[in-house]
Structure 1
């Protein structure tokens, strides 16, 4: 079966189109593992690490013995063999070509070394729609939180993401409703870059309500998945996807999370990888912030309340950032559009300043923390201080 797969002319042609400078057999083997193994399969990862993708494929689907624990190998084979269909590997390559998804392999210039910190649990491939260079940007921060976010959580996520993106950091999140979506939108509104790691194929908009957001991310950021096109998101895949979010960020910030939120899973991965972990405090009476308080109390997460504290968490020396990073002409435009007497809603301010509403909200949050603007019941105004 392996020889038939590696020698299939149609699949080899698709592999050559996806990776014209590589050996088609090696490309096919890497793609095959993305089809056969579920995300984070450490047994598959160990085989690939020790044997290379082609030989790991031959061995993994055979009955040979190996020095790894025999039970682990046999269990792995029972997982992989039902998916060992040449058509599935061909569909993965053809599906990516149809939507313009790029195939990234370990060692590529756009493959982040941060992903390799996952060891045997690192992905065999990554499928990317958008700009893959975002994965190797010099400054990346992961911002995650509850799907059922409160207005407070959405506002804080937008403030943090917008400020960080405006000063050059790539915002990494999971594309979900709530905090993830707020972080992505604010990064885009600030004219910055953002990466959404998906729990299904990059050709599937999940949640469907984020189709427009994903289109925007694809245009000026990157949609990324380790699963081939056509793969459906599952609960396990969402949890496994979280390790990639945690690995890619120089730090992970949990904005809002309940006591058992999936965001705590991302925080756990960040902690195990040695990544700095931050949490945003909320009202002590809010169940939506109970997970953040738990992270600070039990997992040594740092309390963060603004973008400057997130940069400190990331190890960025704010005092020595260049003037082009500190100066933000959008702030000047927004302040010019504000009155010290008459408050205005964000949409009206955005029109006057010539900015997007998302960017305006992010800047208002930042300027509010600095005491330069204030919000009252009917809108925002500039302070006289």
Structure 2
């Protein structure tokens, strides 16, 4: 039997020290429901719509019981993804790591829960983990995003835009990466403004490591958020999943500098699908670093942004625009192959079961994808049945 206990008493004990302003035995929401959402955050990968639909239908605790009891044949494939992670020790480790770093668990129904995440519908996070003070719910929020490999022009524009928007009272949202993201956070902080960072791994794992000090400064006056539990490593899939949260939390999204295939365009795609106001900063037509911005202007009907005044105009004189809750957040989503290669390593051989657990895929699905990867020369299986990824230009072991 899987050791996950959902009684009220055990849920209260598990949540001790993880809820903002809540003492043990004083949880205003249903403790079992809150604890179940913490468990679900360990089980699922970002944006798992099957989990979202099930939880919306019966509640987090009841949904977890359905999975543990093996009920519902239609859930067999999803259950195969979730079950390898459904271990009490893994959940306890995530909660203990959150307590050690001072993270707080935030769930729907909490005052701190970002209401605009409702626009994500089935792709909304089941729970969030936060370090820091939080985010003013009544302030206009602008997501400023761009490439890691930024030019001096891009970083300068990013810092200036963020500073001016923060001075005007807007919350600046970004992803804490090198390049444009970091310049935006620093620009907002330079004016004493509020800035928010979304991470692709646990909030106890500063990423990139070079921004550990910056993330501490962000948490001191704003917030560092993640939907993955403490201890979770950032992966390519989780970066892409994180982008939908950046877009959903914002009233407007501005791409400052991005190449033709920059990950920032994934965020722009989510913004367009969610009905958020979308803009881009133009660059020289000869600059590859601005080609993605020009795509936003041409293909996604983005607003041409040349100053903070343009962004404030996007927000509107009558306050920030509401999101379009009838749209799904499927733009720019990647496939299961990305998750598979996130779980593989070119150095450490991993069993199919280990790959399935790390990727959040069902074991059978992971095995099939590994077979295709082997045919394509992107993965190799050893004599012991364990798998490694094959990097381009490498030779098979």
Greater Cα shift, 5-14 or 39-48 = 5-14
CA deviations over 1:112-147 (Å, ceiling 9, x no partner): 21111100100111111111234x242110000000
Q: 1:82, 1:5 → 2: CA distance?
A: 17
- Shift in Å at residue 7 of structure 1? 4.6
CA distance in 2, matches of 1:162, 1:315: 19
Q: Residue 90 of structure 1: CA displacement?
A: 1.4
CA deviation profile, 1:309-346 (whole Å, cap 9, x unmatched): 0011112369xxxxxxxxxxxxxxxxxxxxxxxxxxxx
Cα drift, residue 299 of structure 1: 1.1
- 1:5 alignment counterpart: 5
**2:271 counterpart of 1:270:** yes
Q: Which has the higher helix share?
A: 1
Residue number in structure 1 paired with 2:251: 250
2:46 is the alignment partner of 1:44: no
Q: Partner of 1:75: helix, strand, or coil?
A: helix
Contact 1:137–1:170 at 8 Å: present in 2 too? no
Q: Does 1:34 align with 2:61?
A: no
Contact 1:146 1:258 in 2 (8 A): yes
- Structure with the greater alpha carbon radius of gyration: 1
Q: Which residue is 1:161 aligned to? A: 162
- Does structure 2 retain, via aligned residues, the 8 Å contact 1:146–1:178? yes
Q: Superposition RMSD on alpha carbons, in Å?
A: 1.7
**What does residue range 31-180 of structure 1 map to in structure 2 within 5 Å?**
31-65=38-72, 70=74, 73-134=75-136, 136-180=137-181
Deviation at 1:92, TM superposition (A): 1.9
8 A Cα contact 1:311 1:317, kept in partner:
no
Please give the alpha-carbon distance, in whole angstroms, between the structure 2 residues aligned to 1:10 and 1:57: 15
- Residue 224 of structure 2 corresponds to which residue in structure 1? 223
C-alpha distance in 2 between matches for 1:102 and 1:223: 11
Within 1, Cα distance between the matches of 2:265 and 2:13?
43
Q: 1:316 to 1:75 in 2, by over 3 A?
A: farther
Output the CA distance in 2 between the equivalents of 1:127 and 1:316. Answer: 33
Residue 240 of structure 1 corresponds to 241
Does structure 1 conserve the Cα–Cα contact (< 8 Å) formed by 2:244 and 2:267?
yes
- 1:257 and 1:291 in contact (8 A); partners too: yes
SS at 1:254's partner residue?
A: strand
Tell me the CA shift for residue 26 of structure 1. 1.8
1:171 alignment partner, SS class? strand
Alignment pair present for 1:300 and 2:307: no
Confirm or deny: 8 A CA contact 1:14 1:94 kept in the other structure.
no
The Cα of 1:285 is off from its aligned counterpart by: 0.4
What CA distance in whole angstroms lies between the structure 1 residues aligned with 2:71 and 2:14? 30
Q: Does 1:259 align with 2:260?
A: yes
Aligned equivalents of 2:81, 2:318: Cα separation in 1? 47
Consecutive unaligned residues of structure 2, counting only runs of 5 or more, are 20-25, 320-397
Find the aligned partners of 2:176 and 2:274 in 1 and give their Cα distance: 22
Q: Which string of whole-angstrom CA distances, capped at 9 and with x for unpartnered residues, describes residues 59-94 of structure 1? A: 12333226xxx2xx2221111000000111112222
How far residue 266 of structure 1 moved from its aligned partner, in angstroms, is: 0.1
CA contact (8 A) 1:259 1:287 kept: yes
Cα displacement (A) at 1:9:
7.0
1:2–1:117 Cα change, 3 Å: farther
Whole-Å separation in 1 of the counterparts to 2:64 and 2:135: 29
Q: CA deviation at 1:23?
A: 3.6
Deviations 1:347-379 (A, max 9, x none): xxxxxxxxxxxxxxxxxxxxxxxxxxxxxxxxx
2:10 and 2:111 map into 1 onto residues whose CA distance is: 27
Q: Distance in 1 between matches of 2:237 and 2:222?
A: 25
**Residues of 1 paired with 2:315 and 2:103: CA distance?**
30
CA distance in 2, matches of 1:57, 1:144: 36
Cα distance in 2 for partners of 1:9, 1:48 equals 22
Cα-to-partner distance string for 1:20-50 (whole Å, 9 max, x where unaligned): 4144322221101000000100000000000
> Distance between the aligned counterparts of 1:223 and 1:298, measured in 2?
32
| Contact persistence 1:61–1:80 (CA under 8 A) | no
